[in-house]
Structure 1
Amino acid sequence: MKIYPLLMLGALLGLSQCQKNDPAPVDQLPPATQTGANTFGCLLNGQPWTPQGNNGKPNFTVSYDPGYAGGALQVKTYRYVEPNQVRQGITFGAANVTQAGFYSFDLPNSNSAFYTDLSQPSPCDYIGDPPRVTYQKGTLTITRLDLTQGVVSGTFSFTLYQPGCDTVRVTNGRFDKKL
């Protein structure tokens, strides 16, 4: 028995199993910081999602009004997706935000999360308003709310379901913004 051909065959089989090691989707997101770094990222149905493009308005804004609804926070972001530059957006907000802490998006609740994908037919192009949305569950954790320095940071995740539409799953979300 000749060992040389078997070794060559083994080496070729071993080489054929080499794969490019792409970074995990979560590793493609900006880091979770608390410095006012102007960053936003999440996984949308397992794929990295960050703001991109511009329609004349900023693609990532955060507003906080301490005098409205006991302290109202709103995060809005959008991006344009190739090949046709279709707009997608993620928006969420919470009331009674006075300090760092945990806030729920669960229905029924005044806190809310929305997803827009203009490539989808109506009514699946906008998911987030009850009574069309029958399932909304998630969390927002404010990790820093510093009005003196003008910085708000946090993490988030949520799931939205509207009958007749695909479920929207947002995970590993993080944002860090100067107010």
Structure 2
Amino acid sequence: MKCEEQTPKDPIDLLPPATQIGENTFGCLVDGESFTPDGSPNSFSGSYNFHDGGYDLIVGGGNSQKDEISGVSVGTESLSINTGEKYSLFTRTSGNAYGSVYRSSNTSYTSSEYSGELFISKHDPENRIISGTFWYDIKDAFGDVHEIREGRFDIKY
């Protein structure tokens, strides 16, 4: 059998499965191409901590092998999350959820003009598991607009 027949043709097939068991996975499509952490030290982050009177969620991945976008993340700032809730991704300010991309040493965040949605499919504080999905549009520091789609994560914090 040829190797190319075993390689998924659809970029979404290269993303981690959408689990809810604390697998510490992260992935999405960036402008139609699969994006996952590259496995190098610090290429994945997933935490949910109490800070300055509220909870901050941060889930993201880095991939130094990608040409343009080398980091993608979603998070909340001083905003508690709940299973089954949807959160609009706007600016990175207290009480909001947001998305970000990292490109050429510049971090850009979602805004009122370029936004999206974060859905928490599971938050189990007892077992410290958070799983969810996300999508957003974002304008980077160079003026390019990117589509982040089919995002998924499953963390044990």
TM-score by length of 1: 0.70
The structure richer in strand per residue is: 2
Number of the residue aligned with 1:114: 100
**Residue 132 of structure 2 is aligned to residue 154 of structure 1:** yes
How far apart are 1:42 and its partner, in Å?
A: 0.3
How far apart are 1:63 and its partner, in Å?
A: 1.3
Unaligned runs of 5+ in 2: none
The structure richer in helix per residue is: 1
Partner Cα separation in structure 1 for residue 146 and residue 66 of structure 2: 20
Regions of 4+ moved over 3 Å: 66-70, 106-109
Partner Cα separation in structure 1 for residue 48 and residue 61 of structure 2: 15
Q: Rate the CA distance shift 1:79–1:94 in 2: closer, same or farther, 3 A.
A: same
Identity of aligned residues (%): 30
**Contact map agreement 2:101 2:140 (CA 8 A) in 1:** no
Partner Cα separation in structure 2 for residue 173 and residue 108 of structure 1: 19
Match of 2:90, SS state, is coil
Partner Cα separation in structure 2 for residue 36 and residue 63 of structure 1: 12
CA RMSD of aligned residues (A): 2.8
Number of the residue aligned with 2:81: 98
Number of the residue aligned with 2:45: 61
Unaligned runs of 5+ in 1: 1-19
Partner Cα separation in structure 2 for residue 161 and residue 87 of structure 1: 12
Partner Cα separation in structure 1 for residue 70 and residue 66 of structure 2: 11
Q: Rate the CA distance shift 1:149–1:166 in 2: closer, same or farther, 3 A.
A: same
TM-score by length of 2: 0.79
**Residue 113 of structure 2 is aligned to residue 135 of structure 1:** yes
